[in-house]
Chain A
Amino acid sequence: MRLELVPRGDVSPWARALAPVAAVVAAILIGGLVVALMGRSPLAAFQVYFVDTLSEDWGLQEMAVKATPLLIIAVGLSFCFRASLWNIGAEGQFIIGALVGGILPLYTAGTEAGAWVIPAAMVLGALGGLAYAMIPALLRVAFGVSEILTSLMLVYVADLTLDYLVRGPWKDPKGFNFPQTVNFDATLPYLAEGGRLHAGVLVGPALALLAWFVISRTLFGFGVRVAGEAPKAARFAGFSANRMVIAAFAISGAAAGLAGIVEVLGQIGQLKPGISSGYGFTAITVAFLGRLHPLGMIFGALVVALTVIGGESAQIALKLPLDLTRAFQGVLLMCVLAADALVSYRVRLVTVARA
C-alpha cells in the first residue's frame, strides 16, 4: 500500500490563489491544538500572536522593519531561482554589502559630511554585494564549479572578513577593545514618530514592483523564465546561458548587498559581528513561500516577520516557550508547501502492488 501523487489536469487560478490562505488557516489550527495540549488558551494565543501585532501601530511598524531585509534579498534571489540557479550565499553578499556600504558612514562619522553619505553608501553596498556574487558566478561560467557550494562557502569568508575588520582596523578606539565600530552619524531617517519605521522599508516594495515589471514585461525577464523552465528552448532562442548566470547573480548579489547596508543604516547604526541573524538564509524560505512572485514574496516576508514578533509577544504575555514559536514557523512552511502540492496534485491511495 502506498500513496501516489497524480497531477491534476487543470487547476483554477482561484484554487492557486487561495492555497496559501488555506495553508495559514491550517497552520493556525494545528498551532492552536498544540497550545491547547500545553494547557493554555488557543484563543488567547491567537490574540497575542496575530491580532495584537496586526492591530497595533507599533506591531505593524516592527513587521515592516523585520520584513525589509527579507523582502529585498528574496526579490533578488527570485531571479536566480527562476533561472534554476542556486545562489545559497545571499547571507555572505548581505554582509559584504553592509561592509562595503559601511565604509563611507564609518569614515565620515563625527564629521559634517552631510546627507549625501546615505545614498552613496547604499549604492556602494549594492555594488559590494554584486561584486561578491560575481565570484561564484564567474567560477561557474569559467570552470563549471557548482554555484551552490561556492556561494555557500563564501558566507563564512564574508563572516570572518567582517569579524576581522571590526576587531582590527575598524574597531571603535574608545570601545575597550570590544568588536564593533563607532556609531554612524549617517542613518536612515524614521518615517513615523515613536516607532522604528525607517526610510529603508520603502526599498522592498519598490524593488518588488521593479522585479514584477522586469520579469513579466521585458525580454530579459522572459529570458530568465525560459532559462529556468526550458533551458533547451532558451538556447535555441539565442539566450546565452552564461550571460544569464552573470546577470541573475549580479541582480541577487546587488539586492542582498543593498539589504545589508539598509539594515545597518536603518536599524543597527554600526558594524559588528552578527549583523545578519540569518536573513540571507531565511530569505530563501521567503522566496519560495511567495512562489518567486513579487507580490507573493511581500506576503511571505510579512508572514515570517509576523511569526517572529508574535512569537516574542507569546513568550512575554503567555510565557509560551520559544521552541513553540520555532515549531509553529516550521508547521506554517510545511502547510504552505503541502497546500501548493495538493493544489497541483491529487493524492491517490494505491492498494494493489504493481505488476
Chain B
Amino acid sequence: MKTVLKIAGALAIVAGLAAPAAAADKLKVGFVYVGPIGDFGYSYQHNQGRLALEKALGEKVETTYLENVPEADSERAIEQLARTGHKLIFTTSFGFMEPTLKVAKKYPNVFFEHATGYKRDKNVATYSAKFHEGRYVQGVIAGKMTKSNVIGYVASFPIPEVVSGINSFMLGAQSVNPNIKVKIVWANTWFDPGKEADAAKALLDQGADIITQHTDSPAPLQQAEARGKLAFGQASDMIRFAPKSILTSIVDHWDDYYIARTKLVLDGKWKSEDTWGGFAANMVNMAPFTNMPDDVKKMAEDTEQAIKSGKLNPFKCPVYDQEGKEVPCKGNGALSDEQVLGMNFYVKGIDDKLPK
C-alpha cells in the first residue's frame, strides 16, 4: 500500500510539473556527477555543495544525485532527473555539455546548470571556477620549496582548464624561482587511482621532488608521501591522505553558488548566465598551508590575498609562449577571460609538447 501511495505521490509531482499552479511542493534539485562521490576530489566536492544546499535551505528543497555517470551515456541520466520533477539540474562535467543542451530543449520549464562548458541556452546556464588562481599560489610555494628544481605535474586531459592551470602554476613558480622545470604526464583520465599513481611514480623517478595534479584521486599525493616528497591536494582538502607531505590543496567551493542559484529558482528570478569565480567569489579556496617554513607560508598567504583583492592577475602581461614570443594582451593589463578559457599554448619554460 505504501508503495502505491509513493507512486501516486511521484505521479502527482510529475503531473504538478505540467501544471505549475500546484506549487508549495519542495523544489527538487538534481546533480549529475562524472565520478563517484567517494573520489575525495572533484565529484566529492560537488556533493559537499549539494549537502550544504540541503542544510541551508532545509525543508524547501529535496536533492538527488547520480554518480559515476559516463559522459557518452549521460543524456538519459539527465533526462531521468528532468522527468521525475527536478526543476533545477546541475551537470558537473564538461562532457555533459551536449546532452544537457539536448535535454534542456525538451524540458523548457526545467533549469539546467552546466559546469565548465561554454554553450548556453534560455534554460541552460554555465558556471566554473578560476582554478588557475589556486595553481598560481601552488606555483609560488613549489618554486620556494623545491630542491631539485623539478616539479611533477599529473595532468588529465589537455583542455583549456587544465592547460591554463599548468601555465598559471609555472608563472607562479617562475615569479620566485627562474630555474624551475615542470614535467608533465598526461594520465588521460579524471579519476583512476592506479593510473594516477603510476604517473606520479614516473615523475618522482625523473627527479621531481614536488608533485601536483589535475586529476581527482589522492593517489599521486600518497605516492609522494610514501617517497618522503612533497605534494599538493586537488579539489578538496586532502590532508588526511598525506599529512606529512601535503603543502596545501586547492579546494573547490561550490556551496555558496549552489545555494544562491537555488534561491533564485525559489524566488522565480533564475536566468541563464555564465559565472566564473575565483578566490574573490569564494568559489576557490586554499586549504591550510602546511609542511613549509613560516616565510614561505607568509608568501603564499600574501599571494592568495593579492589575487583575491585583484592586485595580482596570474596572467598579467607580458606572457610569453614556449618559443619566447609575446602573447597578444587582449585583456586589461592581463590576458582576457576568453584567452584563458580557450588556452591552447604553453608558457615559456614548460618542458613538454602540448598534445594537439
Interface membership of B6, Cβ < 8 A: yes
Interface membership of A274, Cβ < 8 A: yes
Q: Interface readout for A264-276 with B: 1 if CB under 8 Å, 0 if not?
A: 0001111011111
Q: Looking across the interface, which residue of chain B has its beta carbon closest to that of A59?
A: B80
Interface membership of B72, Cβ < 8 A: yes
Q: Are A168 and B356 in contact (CB under 8 A)?
A: yes
Partner of A275, one of B3, B72, B356: B72
Q: Looking across the interface, which residue of chain A has its beta carbon closest to that of B62?
A: A319
Which residues of B in the span 241-261 have a Cβ within 8 Å of any Cβ on A? none
Interface membership of A167, Cβ < 8 A: yes
Q: Are A176 and B160 in contact (CB under 8 A)?
A: yes
Interface membership of A84, Cβ < 8 A: no
Complex interface: stretch among A140-148, A213-221, A284-292, A310-318: A310-318
Question: With the chains together, A313 CA to B86 CA distance in Å?
Answer: 13
Q: Are A270 and B2 in contact (CB under 8 A)?
A: no
Known contacts A196-B75, A267-B75, A167 near B3 by CB under 8 Å: no
Q: Interface readout for A299-331 with B: 1 if CB under 8 Å, 0 if not?
A: 000000000010011011101001000000000
Q: Are B159 and A178 in contact (CB under 8 A)?
A: yes
Residue of B80, B160, B355 with highest tally of chain A CB at under 10 A: B80
Interfacial chain B residues near A47, Cβ < 8 Å = 3, 7
Q: Are A316 and B80 in contact (CB under 8 A)?
A: yes
B94 to chain A, nearest CB (A): 7
Q: Are B68 and A176 in contact (CB under 8 A)?
A: no
Q: Looking across the interface, which residue of chain B has its beta carbon closest to that of A268?
A: B72
Complex interface: stretch among B176-184, B200-208, B284-292, B339-347: B339-347
Interface membership of B10, Cβ < 8 A: yes
Q: Are B118 and A167 in contact (CB under 8 A)?
A: no
Which residues of B in the span 54-80 have a Cβ within 8 Å of any Cβ on A? 64-68, 70-73, 75-77, 80
The size class of the interface chain B forms with chain A is 35 or more
Q: Interface readout for A21-49 with B: 1 if CB under 8 Å, 0 if not?
A: 00000000000000000000101100100
Q: Are B72 and A179 in contact (CB under 8 A)?
A: no
Interfacial chain B residues near A58, Cβ < 8 Å = 83
Question: With the chains together, A43 CA to B344 CA distance in Å?
Answer: 53
Question: With the chains together, A76 CA to B110 CA distance in Å?
Answer: 41
Known contacts A316-B80, A316-B81, A322-B36, A178 near B160 by CB under 8 Å: yes
Q: Looking across the interface, which residue of chain A has its beta carbon closest to that of B33?
A: A322
Q: Are A176 and B341 in contact (CB under 8 A)?
A: yes
B299 to chain A, nearest CB (A): 33
Partner of B342, one of A176, A273, A278: A176
Question: With the chains together, A47 CA to B80 CA distance in Å?
Answer: 16
Interfacial chain B residues near A168, Cβ < 8 Å = 356
Which residues of B in the span 320-341 have a Cβ within 8 Å of any Cβ on A? 341
A224 to chain B, nearest CB (A): 32
Interface membership of A177, Cβ < 8 A: yes
Question: With the chains together, A220 CA to B121 CA distance in Å?
Answer: 54
A127 to chain B, nearest CB (A): 23
Q: Are A276 and B72 in contact (CB under 8 A)?
A: yes
Interfacial chain B residues near A41, Cβ < 8 Å = 2-3
Known contacts A66-B76, A177-B160, A44 near B6 by CB under 8 Å: yes
Interface membership of B39, Cβ < 8 A: no
Question: With the chains together, A179 CA to B7 CA distance in Å?
Answer: 42
Q: Are B159 and A179 in contact (CB under 8 A)?
A: yes
Known contacts A167-B355, A177-B344, A316 near B70 by CB under 8 Å: no
Interfacial chain A residues near B188, Cβ < 8 Å = 163
- A and B contact pairs by CB, cutoff 8 A, 22 listed: A47-B7, A62-B76, A163-B188, A167-B356, A176-B160, A177-B344, A178-B94, A179-B157, A196-B75, A263-B72, A267-B72, A269-B98, A272-B71, A272-B72, A275-B72, A277-B72, A312-B66, A312-B76, A315-B67, A316-B30, A316-B66, A317-B10
- Contact surface of A with B, Cβ cutoff 8 Å: 41, 43-44, 47, 52, 58, 62, 65-66, 163, 167-168, 176-180, 183, 194, 196, 263, 267-270, 272-278, 309, 312-313, 315-317, 319, 322
Q: 9 shortest A-B CB distances, which residue pairs?
A: A277-B70, A176-B342, A177-B344, A277-B73, A275-B72, A44-B3, A43-B3, A316-B64, A312-B80
